Chain A
Amino acid sequence: MSGQSHISVKNLNIWYGKQHALQNINLDIPNKKLTAIIGPSGCGKTTLLKSFNRLLDLQDGFKISGKVLVDGEDIYDPKVEVTHLRKKMGLLSQRPCVLPMSIYENVAYGPRLHGIKDKRVLDEIVERYLQEASLWSEVKDRLHQPASRLSIGQQQRLCLARGLAVEPEVILGDEPTSALDPISAERIEQRFMELKGKYTMVIVTHLLRQAKRLADYIVFIYLGQVIEHGPARELFEKPKDSRTKAYVEGSFIEGYANQYVI
């Protein structure tokens, strides 16, 4: 692990077919801090996030050059075991996506994959991580009901518990609160605040206020390029680039008509 950074991006370029979605990205994601990736819609936030656990490999016409180092190891090296890498990186998607099985099985799914079979150990894991996602008290009497019956907010917390249960080092979140009501969103944010000393967290958000509340470190992406990155306070109070300044102040960036900042 190189000093303070957990994920280190070097000269990263990503294409979808002919579209050059990310251009020359150089970035260090600090260890055990919460990093927020911000930027207007369609600028490449999801692309950057998913390049960290190689989910992009599934996309049509996907091409990549450059390096992404996790714990100092280039994850696009052909020798890398993708399943190991992905186990290290928990992912929360924009819309919660529960597996078609019971609440219990959703959490036990990951640990089972990685070889835990003992019923008692699994019971413990399920309880521990449901508690860690502050869902336990709401579901402890119906662990064996289908997870799809939970509310959307509960489903997202279940996804968090499911991700934590494989004991990742990094938690990736792609606008994890955007499909939730304000109260559920706040509960997720609280969990993040408590988790951020333990895990390296990278959260994509288009809510500037959320980024201000949560983030230690900010990456501002615009049209496929990292315009500016740095400690949250610094970036919000003294942005170096005029486009960053415009974005964090909530005004339109010249030449980009579609964005709408809340």
Chain B
Amino acid sequence: MDKRKTEEYFFKALMLFSTLTVLGSLISILLTIIVKGFPALSWSMLVQTPKGGYYMGKEGGILNAILGSLVLSLGATFIALLISLPLTLYLNIYLKRNSRFAFWVRFVLDVLWGIPSIVYGAFGFTLMIFFGWRASLLAGMVATTLLVLPIMCRSIDEVLKMIPHELQEASLSLGATRLETACKVIFKQALPGVLTAILLALGRGMGDAAAVLFTAGFTDSLPYSLTGPVATLPLAIFYQLGTPFPEVQERGYASALVLTAIVLIISIIARMLSRRFTGDLGD
């Protein structure tokens, strides 16, 4: 009896410790960027592009990187969606539950999910060289698409798997084809979950530095063309923190704060949508 009680206490303490570690690191990260970055955060930083000498502490802002990151990750997410939707609908509607092919596709996606983003960056770089592009919005978008594709596919896949088989049968037995069933019924039912997947991919794509490191380049101007270089927030943070000037480093923390805020807002929206979605299924 006594031994079991001790065990119980031990595990409680362990759980408390782990929980505190997780919470503690989140809070200290947020505190660090808030304390160091907030003083440097200003309106002009959000609405201006870097002026001459910005990286030495002079006038300007990071609008180039904010817009660049948004454009790049929105583009990448959009392309990933165009690929994910047909793929996942195919896996779930055209193939049977225990299909070998579906099994391998899912396996490959899981492997891809686990590949570090720097590898996608390197691969994107190779592609870029191969096609003779320079570092550009397009190349960065391609690398980021590859990065978010498995995330998006697998999360849409999970949503589709949860939809009861009877719904498909109901549509088919009215004489619908599988394509009609996929587009008009299954997709509609999955819509909130698909939105969540989109936001998840968006957040991931926006925050990743390694995928865009070699591929997107960097520029002080706003994104202007698919084939021109584009600034991104992670790299803006990287360059600012890398300067020897304390006031520029502070701006680096402020940029980190901006990036974190954007990603946080996206993931909170994603969370709310997915809550609503699972709530609906519970009815």
Chain A residues within 8 Å of B, Cβ to Cβ: 53, 55, 58-61, 83-84, 86-87, 89-91, 93, 95, 97-101, 109-110, 113-114, 148, 159, 162-163, 166
Contact = CB atoms under 8 A, between A and B. Distances in A.
Minimum-distance CB pairs A-B, first 6: A87-B175, A91-B173, A110-B174, A97-B166, A100-B189, A97-B170
B98 A159 contact: no
Given A60-B97, A99-B185, A100-B188, A86 B174 contact: yes
Interface stretch (B78-86, B176-184, B241-249): B176-184
Given A58-B165, A166-B174, 13 more contacts: A58-B169, A83-B176, A91-B173, A93-B169, A93-B170, A99-B170, A99-B185, A100-B189, A109-B171, A110-B174, A113-B175, A113-B180, A162-B174
Nearest to A95: B166
A110 B184 CA distance: 11
Contacts of A59: 96
A148 B189 CA distance: 11
A184 B170 CA distance: 20
Nearest to A93: B166
Identify which of B166, B175, B280 gathers the most chain A CB atoms within 10 Å of its CB. Answer: B175
B273 to A, nearest CB: 16
B173 A90 contact: yes
9 contacts: A55-B172, A55-B173, A58-B96, A58-B168, A86-B173, A97-B170, A99-B171, A100-B188, A113-B176
B95 to A, nearest CB: 10
Identify which of B164, B171, B189 gathers the most chain A CB atoms within 10 Å of its CB. Answer: B171
Measured as residues with beta carbon below 8 angstroms from the partner, the interface class of chain B is 20 to 34
A259 B171 CA distance: 32
Q: Is the interface of A mostly helix, strand, loop or mixed?
A: mixed
A55 B188 contact: no
A152 to B, nearest CB: 11
B175 A110 contact: yes
A96 to B, nearest CB: 9
Contact of B96 (A60, A89, A101): A60
B56 interface: no
Contacts of B170: 91, 93, 97-99, 159, 162
B173 A53 contact: yes
A93 B180 CA distance: 20
Contacts of B96: 58-60
A117 to B, nearest CB: 15
Contacts of A53: 173
A99 B167 contact: yes
Given A58-B169, A113-B180, A148-B283, A163 B97 contact: no
Contacts of A90: 173-174
Interface string B53-68: 0000000000000000
Contacts of B177: 83
Contacts of B172: 55, 58, 86
Contacts of B180: 113
Interface string B152-172: 000000000000111111111
A166 B170 CA distance: 13
A148 B97 CA distance: 26
B145 to A, nearest CB: 29
A109 B188 contact: no
A159 to B, nearest CB: 7
Contact of A55 (B97, B167, B169): B169
